[in-house]
Structure 1
């Protein structure tokens, strides 16, 4: 195998020429495309970072909104409890007032019936007193018989009431 220096020089010159042509027409556009790709990747990373930050912010906002909703729900429940307790107290107060009113009416009714009974008893006693007096006058009995007669009528009055 022989070494031909002319072919080596021609090969080197051809390589340099090819390199110059490639760098002018191929490497420039290729590097430009690679630079665009690098910039695109860089922009996508920046966009992803921005999206991630926005997602975190939205997540925090949603958590805060959820906490506020829970707080509002708790307040609504507490208000409903207070309202139901107040209604229960109002109902109990109304029931107590109604029971007092019914009791007072019952006491008045009892008092009226008692007064009627006393009036009826007085009228019966007065009627019996008149009867006793008339019988005493009719019989003209002695004092001992009169006491027995009065006791007898009082027993009758006691049995009727």
Structure 2
């Protein structure tokens, strides 16, 4: 038994010297490798979270810019609509004023033509009156003829 105990102790010393040290070194390397991988994974996760937050912020900013562009386009449309309406009103007023001026001119021409006709008819009646002395009945007849001629001329 003492020999076996001696062989066991020698075996433990040999195992410790040749097997235990390299196994422990290998276990330490494995532990360092796993710790490094965990640390790298944590670092990658933190970077992914940071990138995700940046993407969300950039998306939010892009949405705000798009909303601003939409509002600007709406405002420009409203301004353009108001400009078109104002231009149309001004053009309508100009056309209306031109039409009124043309109506006035035509009215003046008609009045002038009527005055010319009345004057010529008055001269005609005066010449007929001068040619002969007329009685009240002849005077009524001439007035009625004059009114009839004026009515036909108009």
Q: Same fold (TM over 0.5)?
A: yes
Report the equivalent of 2:35: 42
- Name structure 2 gaps, 5 residues minimum: none
Are 1:65 and 2:58 counterparts? yes
After TM superposition, give the deviation of residue 103 of structure 1 in Å. Answer: 0.3
After TM superposition, give the deviation of residue 96 of structure 1 in Å. Answer: 0.3
After TM superposition, give the deviation of residue 129 of structure 1 in Å. Answer: 0.7
Q: Secondary structure at the match of 1:101?
A: helix
Are 1:150 and 2:111 counterparts? no
Q: TM-score, normalised by structure 2?
A: 0.93
1:81-103 CA distance string (max 9 Å, x none): 00010000001000000000000
After TM superposition, give the deviation of residue 157 of structure 1 in Å. Answer: 1.5
Matches within 5 A, 1:81-92: 81-92=74-85
Count matched residues.
154
Task: Work out which structure has the larger RCO, using CA pairs closer than 8 Å and 6 or more positions apart in sequence.
Answer: 2
- Name structure 1 gaps, 5 residues minimum: 1-7
Are 1:94 and 2:74 counterparts? no
Of 94-103 and 37-46, deviating more is: 37-46
Of 140-149 and 106-115, deviating more is: 140-149
After TM superposition, give the deviation of residue 139 of structure 1 in Å. Answer: 3.7
Report the equivalent of 1:51: 44
Distance in 2, matches of 1:86 and 1:73, equals 20
